[in-house]
Amino acid sequence: MKRILVSKCLLEHPFRYDARDVRIPELRTLLKDFEIVTVCPEVELLGLPVPRPRLKFVPDKGTLKLLKEDTKEDITQLLEEKSREFLEKVGEIHGAVLKSKSPSCGLGDAKVYRCVECEESIGKAWGIFAKELRKKFPNIPIISEKDIDLLPQVFKTKS
Ligand code: SF4
Tens of pLDDT, residue by residue, the chain (159 residues): 999 999 999 999 999 999 999 999 999 999 999 999 999 999 999 999 999 999 999 999 999 999 999 999 999 999 999 999 999 999 999 999 999 999 999 999 999 999 999 999 999 999 999 999 999 999 999 999 999 999 999 998 654
**Domain that residue 86 falls in:** 3-154
Q: Which atom of ligand 1 is nearest to the CA of 16?
A: 5
**Domain membership flag for residue 90:** yes
Domain count, the chain: 1
- Best probe residue, ligand 1, of 5, 12, 16, 79 (max atoms within 8 Å of C-beta): 16
DSSP state string for 97-112: EE-TT-TTT-SS-EEE
Distances (CA, A) of 3 to 126, 150, 157: 22, 17, 12
Per-residue pLDDT, 156: 84
Q: Does 126 map to a domain?
A: yes
For residue 106, the ligand 1 atom closest to its alpha carbon is: 1
Does residue 112 lie in a domain region?
yes
Cα of 9 from ligand 1 centre, angstroms: 6
Cα separation of 101 and 111, whole Å?
7
159 in a structural domain: no
Q: Is the CB of 15 under 6 A from ligand 1?
A: yes
Is the CB of residue 82 below 6 angstroms from any atom belonging to ligand 1? no
* pLDDT confidence of residue 159: 47
Q: Is residue 97 part of a domain?
A: yes
